[in-house]
Amino acid sequence: DGGITQSPKYLFRKEGQNVTLSCEQNLNHDAMYWYRQDPGQGLRLIYYSQIVNDFQKGDIAEGYSVSREKKESFPLTVTSAQKNPTAFYLCATWDFSGANVLTFGAGSRLTVL
Amino acid sequence: GQSLEQPSEVTAVEGAIVQINCTYQTSGFYGLSWYQQHDGGAPTFLSYNALDGLEETGRFSSFLSRSDSYGYLLLQELQMKDSASYFCAVRDGTGFQKLVFGTGTRLLVSP
């Protein structure tokens, strides 16, 4: 089945630690995105990548880093510089079909202890 | 930049019709989308309007008025499973392939 796999589903981190969230897709979509969602809030864009080896900052990139070495993979690292990292993180892809259709992974919930 | 406004919460009973409004501000317009998200789940695409008028997909319809920078999602014959958050979204005004989301409307459907 085609889709987006995010791992881990739940992650606990101590303050001061970096963590990396995985996002893998087999949809053959060029563009990939990371969004952050806080309770009762909308989705805010962290980083996005339209092609391999290229990515751009979104609205809340501070304290985060990404890489795009393969079309299928777009990992997100939450660094210790991110002051309030506890949130629900969603990875998505866009197939450029004309309609504004993002396909989302199941998400990773990060909790800082 | 872009901004979208939605009501924070709407309540309705099973079988009823509910309308969720969205007003937006964007420097360029490339369509209005709607997404549904159940608690703890991922958002899923519902509908897309690029031109004025009504788009119907089963029990769900979406309307757009570009002159008013306004759209709505209409849910008919409400079911308990429709209880979820609904987000409107517009593409970045620069034309880049990224979406900006509203803060969402939580729909509570009661028996």
Which chain B residues are within 8 Å of A96, Cβ to Cβ? Answer: 97
Mutation site for A-interface testing, chosen from B91, B101, B105 by largest number of A Cβ within 10 Å: B101
Whether residue A1 is predicted with pLDDT greater than 70 in this model: the reply is: no
pLDDT digits (tens, 9 = 90+) for A38-54: 987 889 999 999 999 99
DSSP structure string for B38-98: -TTS--EEEEEESSSEEEEETTEEEEEETTTTEEEEEE-S--GGG-EEEEEEEE-TT--S-
Total number of residues shown for chain A? 113
Which chain A residues are within 8 Å of B43, Cβ to Cβ? Answer: 43, 90, 102, 104
Partnered with residue B34 across adjacent β-strands are B47, B88
pLDDT (0 to 100) of residue A113: 86
Residue B98 near chain A (CB below 8 Å): yes
Nearest to B43 among A44, A58, A104 (CB): A104
Distances (CA, A) of A53 to A31, A62, A71: 12, 20, 9
Q: How far apart are the first and last CA of chain B?
A: 41
Whether residue A4 is predicted with pLDDT greater than 80 in this model: the reply is: yes
pLDDT band for B95, please (50, 70, 90 cuts).
low
pLDDT digits (tens, 9 = 90+) for A73-89: 999 999 988 889 999 99
Is the peptide bond prior to A8 cis by the omega test (within 30 degrees of 0)?
yes
pLDDT digits (tens, 9 = 90+) for B23-47: 999 888 889 999 999 999 999 999 9
Percent of chain B with pLDDT over 90: 83
> For residues A33 and B28, which has the higher predicted lDDT (pLDDT)?
A33
